[in-house]
Structure 1
Amino acid sequence: MEAAPHPVPDALSYLAGEWAVHRELCDRATGHSGWFSGRAAFRTGTGAEWLHVEEGIFEWDGVRRKAGRTLKLVPSADGTAEVTFTDGRPFHPLDLSSGLWTAWHKCGADLYKGTFTVVSPDEWRLRWDVQGPAKDQLLSSVYRRAPS
């Protein structure tokens, strides 16, 4: 049984700091799978924006390499945020006030459905279900707050 969502009044205050992240990846079209394991940091950037920076090791089909990504988050006065790519293109809104949020992102003809679940003050989960002509993937991540 899944844990009940943990409401978060301010998304960025909750996310602030360092997290250990583990992600399982599955390409349903090919049957290939892999994982990412590393660290995620949520911190202030320039102006009002925040940065979400991930770095770690990615293994796909038995091949390991360093990997990472950076996203920007622009806070709103109501405790939500707009997530963008580093070049400013919109990705999705983020509202963790109920502890559960579903985001949608269209990338070409593929549709990304992201489900964010806050499990506790120190753990949240993200599941991206990607479907379309170019992709049929499932990415399941667990974020656990890193000790200070």
Structure 2
Amino acid sequence: MDEYWPVSDVLLYLAGSWRVERSVRDLTSGDAGAFTGATDFRPLAEGGLLHLESGTFTWQGVARPAERTLRFLPGPVPGTADVRFADGRPFHDLDLTTGRHTADHPCSADLYRGEFAVRDADHWRTVWRVGGPAKDLLLTTDYARVG
């Protein structure tokens, strides 16, 4: 995808409900999995959005319920976001004013590098490459707005 859709305010863009399809590939073993579910971005009283993701993760033929919660807070520049884990620890920054963004998140000895791309008003994608001594993963997530 070479064309991106600029977003002047990431929090305004993300607000609402999204269908989620994620592929997970272990680049070392060749194993593959998938997550299917939904993400809701709900307003926080103190500003920003609460990201609630839930669905089913299937790995090696076994399907299990899966969920995660993140906090998308207003970033240091208007229209950007400071993404944090549910417990408040920093995760990454997010600036989609050009329609794309790259963010890094060191986690112990591993490095998570995320690439974010907005396709249009109702579709965006993240691709996380996770590398380290114990991990070699590629996670690709497509979001489609609901309603």
Shorter-chain TM-score: what band? Answer: over 0.9
The match for 1:48 is: 47
Superposition pairs of residues 27-38 of structure 1, within 5 angstroms: 27-38=26-37
Instruction: Note the alpha carbon deviations across 1:22-63, whole angstroms, 9 max, x for none.
Output: 000001122111000000111112312321111101100000
Q: Provide the C-alpha distance between the structure 2 equivalents of 1:141 and 1:81, rounded to a whole number of angstroms.
A: 19
Q: Provide the C-alpha distance between the structure 1 equivalents of 2:48 and 2:78, rounded to a whole number of angstroms.
A: 15
CA RMSD of aligned residues (A): 1.0
The match for 2:88 is: 88
Q: Are the aligned partners of 1:35 and 1:59 in contact in 2 as well (CA < 8 Å)?
A: yes
The match for 2:137 is: 137
The AA in structure 1 aligned to 2:98 is S
Instruction: Note the alpha carbon deviations across 1:60-86, whole angstroms, 9 max, x for none.
Output: 000001111000011135110100001
The number of residue pairs the alignment matches comes to: 146
TM-score by structure 2 length? 0.96
Q: Which runs of 4+ in 1 moved over 2 A?
A: none
The match for 1:127 is: 127
Consecutive unaligned residues in structure 2, runs of 5 or more? none
The match for 1:14 is: 13
Q: Provide the C-alpha distance between the structure 2 equivalents of 1:3 and 1:23, rounded to a whole number of angstroms.
A: 21
TM-score by structure 1 length? 0.95
The AA in structure 1 aligned to 2:21 is H
Q: Provide the C-alpha distance between the structure 1 equivalents of 2:44 and 2:31, rounded to a whole number of angstroms.
A: 36
